[in-house]
A and B are shown apart, each in its own frame.
Chain A
C-alpha cells in the first residue's frame, strides 16, 4: 500500500505528501457533465470504464447521470470490489473462463446485474451450466474482433451460430454485440510513444467507423434470422464522438475522459486535464537539472512518458524511483522540496500504481478517495 503522510481536509495541495495522485475536482465535474450532455443529446447511454480512475466515489458521480447504463470493468475482481461499493450494474469487458472465476461470477449475479463478453462456444456452454445450477442469469455480449489478434470472432456464420447457442441455452441471455477498435498495445517492434499518434488520429477514427459499420451489418444479418439484438456496445474516449453519430450503437464505453491524460490531452481538447502526480524536488545536482521523487513506480511509463505541467520543464526520463527533469527558467530559483506536477501519459496505467486519489478544489484538499480494486487482476 501507499503510505502517504495524511493531512486534514482543507490542507493546501502543496503541503500534501509526495508522490501523490492529485485530481482537480472542478475539472473532473466538468468532464463528467460534458460527457453526459453529449451522450444525452445523441440519445445514447454511456457505460463508464472505471479502470481509468479506479475510484468507487467517481463511479458513483458517473452513475448519477440518467445517461449511464451501469459501469464497465475489465476483470472479475474489479467487478466484485465495485459491486461491494454499491455499483450493481456491471459490464465485465472480458472473457471469464475457469471454474473458480465462473463460480464467483454466478455468486455476484445473485444480487447484481452482470454482463460479460464471450467469443467461444465451449465457454458459452460452461457459463450456461454454471448459471443454471446457481439459479442466476448472465447477460452475454458477443465480441466482434477488430483484428486477427484481438478478443472476439469475425462476423459470419460461426458468430451467428454462437448467437443462436446463447439464445438456446438456459440461464444466459443474448444481449447484443460488443466491439472495440482502438487497439493500443506495446511491442518490442514498436518505438516508445507510438501508441497514439495525432497524425494518425483521423485515419484510426475512419477505420473505427468502418468497423462499427461491420458490426451493424452483422446485426442486420442476424436480426433477419430472428435473433434480437438489444445492445451494440462500442467505443472509447478516442472515438466516442464519431461513433455516437452512427445510428445503431446503443451504448458507448469511455473511461479516460473523466481524469484525462497526456496522450488524450491533444486529441480530446473538449475535456480538461484533471489528474496529475505531484512530486517533490529531491536533488538539484547540476544546472538545469531537477531530480524528483516521482519515477516509473509513481507515475507510470509503460505506454509513454509523462509531461510536466509547467512550461519550460521537460521530462527527460523516469527511472524506477526518480524523475529526471530538465528546466530552463532563466534565473528563477528552484529549491529542494519544491513541487513538480506531472501528467501521466496513460491514466489507467497510473491509477493502477496508487491506493489513493487526493481530490483538490481551489488548491486545497477536499477528499481522499480509496482505489480499492487496484491489483485485482483475477
Chain B
C-alpha cells in the first residue's frame, strides 16, 4: 500500500500527485442534507458503502442521523470490513451463493445483524442449512427485478414462494423486499419522480402479494439512487440505499449534492501548443465512457486518457504550464474510489485528515 500520508496543515497545492482528495465541507453538506431529508420520515437512509469503501465515512452519516443505523454493501467481503469498522447492521443487496461464502457470512452474523438478498429457492435452503448448523440467523430480503434485467425475482409468485419457504426453515428470518434500478439522467424532476414511483411499485406489488399470504414485510429497501428525494413520500418504502450522494459524480448532478471527491493532478509535459499532459490516467481514475471535468477551469478540456496520463487541451498556449496543478471532477465515482487506499481530506484548501479506504478491492 502506498505510504503517502501528508500531515494535517499541508496546503492542497503542496500535495504530491496524483492524489484522491475529499472536500470535507462538501461531504458534510451532503451528509447533513440526507440527515435533514430523512429526519422526520418513516423512510430512512441505508448508505451504500460500495461508493465510499470506508466504515469511518459511513459512521459519519450514521452519527449525523436520518439512517436506519446500518449500511448496505456490495459484497460479503465489504460487509466484513464494515463490521470490523464498528457497524453492526449490514444488508448485502446481492446474492451470496457459494457454501464457503455462506459459512463466512454466518461467522459474520455472530458479530452483527446480517441480511442478504435472495432470488432463488435453492440458495435460501443452503443459507438456512449452514446458518442453522452455526446457530445463527440470517435476515432474508427478496430481490425484485424492476426491469433492469439483472438479478431478482420477476413475478409476484416467485417472491411469494420464497417468502413462504422462509417461514418453514430454521436459521433464516424473512425481512422484506429490495430492488435496484439505475436509469439514465433525468432533467425533469416530475418525470424522474414518476419513473421512481412506477419502478418502486413493482417491488411494492411483491410486498403486497407476500402480505396477502399473512407474512409480515418489515423492510422495503429501495436501491434506486434517483428516487432519493421521492421514496420518502411513497407509502411502504422503509429505506433508501443511497451511495453516490456522499462523494458525488457529475452523473448525479440533478440530485443537487456537492461534488466532494476530486483527483489532484500535475501538468508534467507540454508536447505541443495548447496540449498538456497530466500525471493521472485510466488506471488511477477509471473510465466509464465519460471523462472528468476540470474544476474551476472552463478553459481546460480533458481530451484523452491513457493508462497513466491525461491529455488536456486549452484555447491559449499559456493557459497552463508544466508544474501547474488541476483538480479533476469524476463523472462516476465508485470505480475511481475503488482504486485508492487513502482519502486526503481537505477543508479550505488545507489537509485536515487522511482516511484509509479499507474496503478498496473487496470484490469477493
Using a CB–CB cutoff of 8 Å, the interface residues on chain A facing chain B are 1-5, 17-20, 51, 74-75, 77, 94-95, 97-98, 100-101, 119-120, 122-123, 145, 147-153, 183-188, 192, 280-286, 289, 291, 293-298, 302-303, 319-322, 324, 336-337, 348-349, 352-355, 374-378
Question: Are B98 and A97 within 8 A (Cβ)?
Answer: no
Question: Are A152 and B271 within 8 A (Cβ)?
Answer: yes
User: What are 17 A-to-B residue pairs whose CB atoms are below 8 Å?
Assistant: A2-B361, A2-B362, A3-B77, A97-B268, A100-B16, A145-B272, A149-B272, A151-B271, A183-B306, A185-B305, A280-B97, A293-B363, A293-B364, A297-B335, A348-B307, A375-B340, A377-B283
Contact partners of B98 in chain A: CB under 8 A: 17-18, 280, 337
Contact partners of B308 in chain A: CB under 8 A: 74-75, 94, 377
State whether the Cβ of B190 lies closer than 8 Å to any Cβ in chain A.
Answer: no
Question: Are A285 and B153 within 8 A (Cβ)?
Answer: yes
Contact partners of A374 in chain B: CB under 8 A: 361
B277 and chain A: residue at smallest CB distance: A151
In the bound assembly, the distance between CA atoms of A352 and B75 in angstroms comes to: 19
**Chain B: interface residue total (CB-CB under 8 A):** 76
Evaluate whether A151 and B77 lie within 8 angstroms (CB atoms) in the complex, with A119-B269, A186-B287 already known. no
Q: Which of the residues B120, B149, B334 comes within 8 Å of A324, measured between beta carbons?
A: B149
Question: Are A3 and B81 within 8 A (Cβ)?
Answer: yes
Question: Are A188 and B341 within 8 A (Cβ)?
Answer: no
In the bound assembly, the distance between CA atoms of A284 and B68 in angstroms comes to: 30
In the bound assembly, the distance between CA atoms of A354 and B363 in angstroms comes to: 9
In the bound assembly, the distance between CA atoms of A280 and B102 in angstroms comes to: 13
A51 and chain B: residue at smallest CB distance: B307
Evaluate whether A353 and B338 lie within 8 angstroms (CB atoms) in the complex, with A2-B361, A2-B364, A101-B16 already known. yes
Contact partners of B339 in chain A: CB under 8 A: 352-353, 375
Taken residue by residue from 121 to 151, chain B's Cβ proximity to chain A (1 for < 8 Å, 0 otherwise) reads as 0110000000000000000000001000111
Known: A98-B266, A188-B291. 5 other contacts (CB 8 A): A97-B322, A98-B16, A149-B303, A187-B291, A321-B94
Evaluate whether A375 and B1 lie within 8 angstroms (CB atoms) in the complex, with A186-B282, A336-B120 already known. yes
Question: Are B269 and A151 within 8 A (Cβ)?
Answer: yes
Question: Are A97 and B150 within 8 A (Cβ)?
Answer: no
Q: Which of the residues B101, B306, B311 comes within 8 Å of A5, measured between beta carbons?
A: B101
Max chain A CB contacts within 10 Å: which of B4, B98, B363? Answer: B363
Question: Are A324 and B150 within 8 A (Cβ)?
Answer: yes
B334 and chain A: residue at smallest CB distance: A320
Q: Which of the residues B104, B151, B268 comes within 8 Å of A282, measured between beta carbons?
A: B151
Minimum C-beta distance from A248 to chain B (A):
24
Question: Are B120 and A4 within 8 A (Cβ)?
Answer: no
Max chain A CB contacts within 10 Å: which of B97, B305, B308, B313? Answer: B97
